[in-house]
Amino acid sequence: MAVLEQFSLKGRIALVTAGAGPQFGSSLSEGLAEAGATVIVASRSLQRNLDFARGLKERGYDAHGMQVDICETDSIQRLHDRILEQFGRLDILVNSALARVGGGFETQTSEDWLESAKGDMVGLFTICRAFVPDMVRQKRGSIINISSIYGVVANDPSLYEGTDMLQAPTYNFVKAGMINFTRHIANYYGKKGVRANCISPGGYFNHQPKPFLDNYTKRVPIGRLLDNEDIKGAVVFLASDASAYVTGINLMLDGGWTTL
């Protein structure tokens, strides 16, 4: 197979949770669609997913919008059953949904942590548990979990000076756990044809306050924040046959942040 053909996802079925989101989700979905995959985007907002999928279809890609609440086991099972009924299989599972819980260490509550755990821990386990047996039966599957640099290193409080931004400790906790959970899946199911990898992005440009942007770009070696195009190549690589011998890794997509 020619090297560029290894990156093709033609004929593959991919699910991206929070795949119509304005940050990583939409970029992940676009990248997979551009590589030829049939892409299913799913989150709580069915209308957003349908609208996003329609936009991809207008560009000539095969995309579908569905609904799922990553915090609800029954919702995940319904999504699983619909995908198998409509497409017969799932080849690529990209977990980018996040149960967002705000606040900092001094303001978060035990209830906040339980809410985060419902989606970011239990939800991640449940959706993998739903689709991994199908991937084992077909002897092929790629799971890609979207973690973060803050699953690897701690926050730098100086970044937030001059802003009212807070970094939720729940975020660090679940993103770190996601990385080792990915290794668990990779080790247990590699011989059965299922690969599991992480992508850990750095800071994503989202019109943050100028002090934060200045502090971040000054510190990161590449000198800018992540944008929508940066994550596409990484997800296509890990989803495709180009990474057929790659499993259990945590790909740092951080502009060199963690080299310092």
Within a domain: 55: yes
Q: Phi and psi dihedrals of 227, rounded to 5?
A: -120, 180
- CATH of residue 80's domain is 3.40.50.720
Domain region containing 230? 6-252
**Is residue 180 assigned to a domain?**
yes
Output 77-84 pairs: Cβ under 8 A, ≥24 positions apart.
77/130, 79/15, 79/42, 80/127, 80/130, 80/131, 83/13, 83/15, 83/40, 84/134
Tell me, yes or no, whether 81 lies in a domain: yes
Write down the pLDDT at residue 243. 98
pLDDT score for 1: 80
- Asked whether residue 258 is domain-assigned, the answer is no
Say if 260 falls within a structural domain. no
173 belongs to a structural domain: yes
Query: Cα separation of 99 and 118, whole Å?
Result: 8
Task: Confirm whether 43 is domain-assigned.
Answer: yes
Q: Compute mean pLDDT per 10 residues along the chain, 260 residues long, and list them.
A: 92 98 92 98 97 98 98 97 98 94 92 92 97 98 97 94 92 96 98 98 94 97 95 98 98 96
Q: What is the pLDDT of residue 23?
A: 79
152-156 long-range contacts (CB < 8 A, ≥24 apart) are 152/176, 152/179, 152/200, 152/250, 152/252, 152/258, 153/257, 153/258, 156/219
Please tell me the predicted confidence (pLDDT) of residue 3.
87
Q: What is the pLDDT of residues 1-11, one digit of tens each?
A: 888 899 999 99
Q: What is the pLDDT of residue 2?
A: 87
Residues in contact with 144: Cβ distance below 8 Å, sequence separation at least 6, in sequence order: 92, 93, 94, 95, 196, 197, 198, 199, 235, 238, 239
- 1 falls within a domain: no
* pLDDT tens, residue by residue, 203-234: 999 999 999 999 999 999 999 999 989 999 99
Residue in 17, 37, 19 with CA at minimum distance from that of residue 241: 37
| Number of domains the chain is built from | 1
pTM higher than 0.95 for the full model?
Answer: yes
